């Protein structure tokens, strides 16, 4: 937990909540605040519950270290983590498999390219490899375009500009290939940014979401496909915008969702009769290696 990314504080919150849950369950737990000496620190453990959000934690890096050390770990493997963390690769894979996702363009920093977009407003500008809405902007007017680019380029050399989809923001936890109750996210500001995510009272959450059976089935089927094509494992979360026509547009698959008692995944689990501590244990049971037996 912790680590070196911009999501360090969120990771510490997740890690501490998970550690407390495992302690209540009677397990012997060793918290590791990740730094450059992580390989040495990991030699003391038998199994890793990854609560490391952001760069080095969700992108396949820590998974690769754990593979070398033959320590089973939670969440997707090296390839699955890398694919899901890179928003551009995610979009390309979704498009290839015919899974609905918003139209998009890609721009690069310091490549002497013209930052001239083809998509009409409104649009969303985001870094390709950040979480927690860091560097993400909704652009409704032309005067917001340049500041949005500047903000996104602070976090990534490569950014995505995609068509803004009006609709319901939904989060679907995946217990393997089995969808959990859907959470409808309703930020009071209209934009689910960092403040809306982590400030109490800024967002309303409805679980289960008030959807028709047909809408639930469509969202669940799309989430299953996303889990399959992005090499999901464990209990990730698929984020979707359900538009007014009933089309579920996929935003991303979050391979290491936030795990505090007020996070989205525990909220969905509780609706299916699984409390926070039991959810932590369920995730722990999915720990494994990509490459062979750990012995």
Residues labelled as active-site residues: 7, 132, 198, 237, 239, 252, 254, 258
Alpha carbon separation from 243 to 22, 56, 134, 248, 290 (Å, rounded): 39, 33, 24, 7, 36
Q: Which stretch of DSSP H or E encloses residue 174?
A: strand 167-175
Distance CA 183, CA 54 (A): 22
Instruction: Answer for the pair 118, 139: CB distance below 8 angstroms, yes or no.
Output: no
Distance CA 72, CA 280 (A): 16
Distance CA 164, CA 13 (A): 31
DSSP H helices in the chain: 8-24, 38-42, 61-69, 78-85, 87-96, 145-153, 194-198, 213-229, 264-271, 276-285
Secondary structure of residue 168 in the 3-state scheme? strand
Q: Residue 206: what are its φ and ψ, rounded to 5°?
A: -115, 120
Q: Tokens for 153?
A: 């380029």
Distance CA 15, CA 213 (A): 35
**How close are the terminal C-alpha atoms of the chain, in Å?**
25
Closest by Cα among 231, 232, 250, 230 to 240? 250
């Amino acid at each position: 937990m912790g680590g070196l990314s911009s999501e360090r504080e969120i990771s510490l919150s997740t890690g501490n909540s998970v550690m407390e849950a495992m302690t209540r369950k009677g397990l012997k737990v060793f918290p590791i605040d990740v730094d450059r000496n992580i390989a040495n620190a990991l030699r003391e453990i038998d199994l890793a519950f990854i609560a490391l959000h952001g760069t080095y934690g969700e992108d396949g890096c820590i998974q690769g270290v754990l593979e070398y050390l033959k320590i089973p770990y939670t969440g997707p493997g090296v390839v699955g983590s890398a694919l899901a963390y890179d928003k551009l690769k995610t979009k390309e894979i979704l498009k290839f498999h015919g899974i609905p996702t918003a139209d998009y363009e890609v721009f690069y920093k310091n490549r002497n390219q013209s930052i001239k977009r083809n998509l009409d407003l409104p649009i969303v500008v985001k870094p390709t490899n950040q979480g927690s809405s860091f560097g993400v902007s909704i652009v409704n007017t032309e005067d917001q375009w340049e500041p949005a680019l500047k903000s996104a380029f602070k976090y990534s050399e490569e950014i995505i500009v995609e068509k803004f989809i009006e609709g319901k923001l939904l989060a679907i936890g995946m217990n393997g290939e089995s969808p959990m109750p859907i959470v409808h996210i309703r930020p009071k500001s209209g934009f689910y940014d960092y403040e809306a995510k982590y400030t109490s009272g800024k967002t309303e959450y409805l679980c289960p979401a008030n959807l028709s059976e047909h809408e639930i089935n469509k969202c669940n089927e799309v989430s299953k496909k996303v889990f399959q094509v992005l090499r999901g494992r464990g209990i990730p979360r698929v984020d979707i915008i359900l538009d007014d026509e009933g089309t579920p547009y996929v935003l991303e698959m979050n391979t290491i969702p936030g795990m505090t008692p007020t996070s989205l995944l525990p909220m969905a689990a509780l609706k299916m009769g699984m409390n926070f501590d039991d959810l932590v244990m369920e995730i722990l049971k999915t720990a494994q290696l990509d490459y062979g037996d750990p012995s």
